[in-house]
Structure 1
């Protein structure tokens, strides 16, 4: 750790140098690239290329500067995110004032999206899709655990084979150094940054490594690296951060709102129906046949993955209700209409949302997560952690634990990690925002970050992942902060835009 901290101090003492970016027209946006060292300890050596797009400030005469955005993952393309926002396919996490006064910059960090090279683990998309077929995301037996461990080891080997030495240069600390070169290339004295989910971890590491160059920081939905990076021997990331508990709590809220709402069909089966339904599937998969005669199976893993994913966005909660109601009816009447309808749903999921632990995000997610975090090299540590946590977070402890199981076999040694200290002297307070019930980024991580970072915490009293996608109040607070510097009063909370199942 002393070496990492010393390096950070050295870099802060010598301002980063980068050539100005050369922007060109790319549809509605401007695009550019920036070459940075593969290894920042060898600045004249091999290079990698970052990709950027810009939505220029609409009122250039009143421009306040640039704000760099990171969508999270790690591994999501922030460029694609900004393109979807500009195309009106996703809501912006800021209002018109930010579009008017800031150049909004989306950066695809090294190894991700339109950066080159990117993390690759398979030769073709078809090979990637076939790789995890038949491997459950949520193992429920020792046989499945061993199968998963073997596949994780094979996956790690494929990533090393196809990505090579790039894997040794993918860490949040390295990306923070890239960010400082981006700041310099933008001509900014301080980095203004909006990070979501993993983007919060990146912004936090940047603030600790480069506090004197940190400007406005909006940190929405907190992955707190002080909690996830290190932990007790044998612990896994999900139990350090509590994502299993937060998924459990969000599911409890789903069931509560379902029971008291006007539009939730599953409510009629009573409070224990969800538990009994999952227990039945865990004991034995539900064999089904589509109207076309195709046999399919609804497994415990498929349903837990379905629920866990759709808890992220409240506009998908009606889908959870539909799936639970349909499954309950199919279990009650195996030969009935509900069973036939459920078979069609499962067939669709098998084709378009397969129960496969190795999806398109997994390569980049693994590269950064396994390099950043202390992890066991004993594959059964994940199973042991899941067993420990299932007592307090039933059905979701294994789902969340196994999101990082590939780290047991990961074949990379990061050239640099940042492991603390975690008390930066950032001059401008950051704005931290988190939903009260977020299955991916627990409120506890946001509270802890607010204690160690010069900041103000705004809690959105809603549900799901990414507060700005659930609350106009959070969007307004973000825009107030970026444009005027104003922070919410201590203890301020935001109401969600909608309450699920309220009619």
Structure 2
């Protein structure tokens, strides 16, 4: 189970919102270097030996301005990882990855994903980083493990005034903890600044052009970079794209539809495989609904912890990001219906970044910090109420107010610097959108492609969040041919799931 989840976790990246205007060109100090050394704190969920035992895997730090408005002022360190190319004689250069979030650790994820990227690794040094505000790069902290345990366990059902009041109080407490523990970094974690960090990374790697693969939120980051630094774009792939023009309300409803559709597809597959959730789709759905209502009243004991209704929904959503984890979800729900919530709780922990020792990564704290500072949207109570009501009609299981409630009270100001992208003058960009992606609905793919004047769209007909690591040989071939040979697919190409 750990091994499958480790692979599927590459797709477990939530979606965000945004992108910017071209900044004045940065003067990158020629002497600025990355201090490479052994990797000593890689987190591996599958129990394999740590990356520091492999001499081809190196970790490093790069100092960048905290505030690009004061480039000579205070600096922060970005954490990076590099996995050396295996075919050194035919090495193309460096290939930078952002696997999504916002809030995902690129250092940890690239280490886990390396085996799946062997074709690219043959020709490229694979590089990734923890973006500013994430994990080792001045990661946003908001209280301790007990605070995050309480926050992630919040129930969403029943959808009444009492539940909303508890959510509002919890959001207020969470925002206060973030300001207390990370107030200095909060105003500076936006995508526009992270994009400028990427250009510092490019220069420090000694690359004239940035070759880049962005997934989910990483597509936003790539689109911003291509708009800020079009002349520095090399070969760029944006997989599971976001549409930066979509506002908070439309984004929340689109993602609710996406997860509900994925859930319905899971139920059909589950019943076909004769899982223990129900003998037919209607019965399975009724059993899950009954389980959620029971958990809202009485959580299941799992050791010293409790499986709440809120954690159960998180576990279900986590498994819907990839078909790889659908069988695990069927087993987890079947066990929970029999009174054992351990597997469902494990799925939830894989999403929230809770480690076996009870500590958390910054995944749950970096996400709202970046999301809320990337927009000036601060929805009022009427908008939040309308959005939640509409979302609940779409899906009683996944319906909520989204991130709007937290952004409304966020302690750092938002900016719309990262809301318009065009990539005018950049090298060709390859956009890959999935027809059945629950987190970044397909309609965002052609929309982003149209906004990026140099982009070409490829459509993936399968399930799951992200196409390149889905197992589709067609998608893998098209992406690899572009990144390695510079061969751009013809417009209108689509690939089946197989």
Q: TM-score range by the shorter chain?
A: 0.7 to 0.9
Structure 2: give runs of 5+ residues left out of the alignment.
1-19, 39-51, 355-359
Structure 1 residues 320-378: Cα deviation after superposition (integer angstroms, max 9, x where no partner): 32345556xx5xxxxxxxxxxx2222597299749989964121001100101233354
Structure 1 residue 170 corresponds to structure 2 residue 205: no
CA contact under 8 A between 1:194 and 1:218: conserved in structure 2? yes
Q: How high is the TM-score relative to the length of structure 1?
A: 0.81
Could you tell me how far apart the structure 2 residues matched to 1:356 and 1:20 are?
35
2:5 is matched with: none
2:445 is matched with: 446
**SS of 1:147's equivalent?**
helix
What pairs up with 1:266-305 in 2 under 5 angstroms?
266=277, 268=279, 270-281=280-291, 285=295, 300-305=309-314
Equivalent residue for 1:349, pick from 329, 345, 349: 345
CA contact under 8 A between 1:310 and 1:316: conserved in structure 2? yes
CA contact under 8 A between 1:20 and 1:186: conserved in structure 2? no
**SS of 2:64's equivalent?**
strand
**SS of 2:260's equivalent?**
helix
* CA RMSD across the alignment: 3.2
1:471 is matched with: 471
CA contact under 8 A between 1:286 and 1:297: conserved in structure 2? no
1:258–1:356: structure 2 CA closer, same or farther, 3 Å change rule?
closer
1:310 is matched with: 319
Could you tell me how far apart the structure 1 residues matched to 2:164 and 2:235 are?
45
CA contact under 8 A between 1:63 and 1:100: conserved in structure 2? yes
CA contact under 8 A between 1:377 and 1:409: conserved in structure 2? no
Structure 1: give runs of 5+ residues left out of the alignment.
331-341, 498-503
What pairs up with 1:104-253 in 2 under 5 angstroms?
104-115=126-137, 117-122=138-143, 124=144, 126-132=145-151, 135-137=154-156, 140-227=159-246, 230=247, 235=249, 237-239=251-253, 242-253=254-265
1:286–1:433: structure 2 CA closer, same or farther, 3 Å change rule?
same
Structure 1 residue 79 corresponds to structure 2 residue 107: yes
Q: How high is the TM-score relative to the length of structure 2?
A: 0.82
2:486 is matched with: 485
1:254–1:52: structure 2 CA closer, same or farther, 3 Å change rule?
same
CA contact under 8 A between 1:59 and 1:101: conserved in structure 2? yes
2:456 is matched with: 456
Could you tell me how far apart the structure 1 residues matched to 2:159 and 2:80 are?
43
1:480–1:136: structure 2 CA closer, same or farther, 3 Å change rule?
same
Equivalent residue for 1:257, pick from 263, 269, 274: 269
Offset, 1:101: 1.9
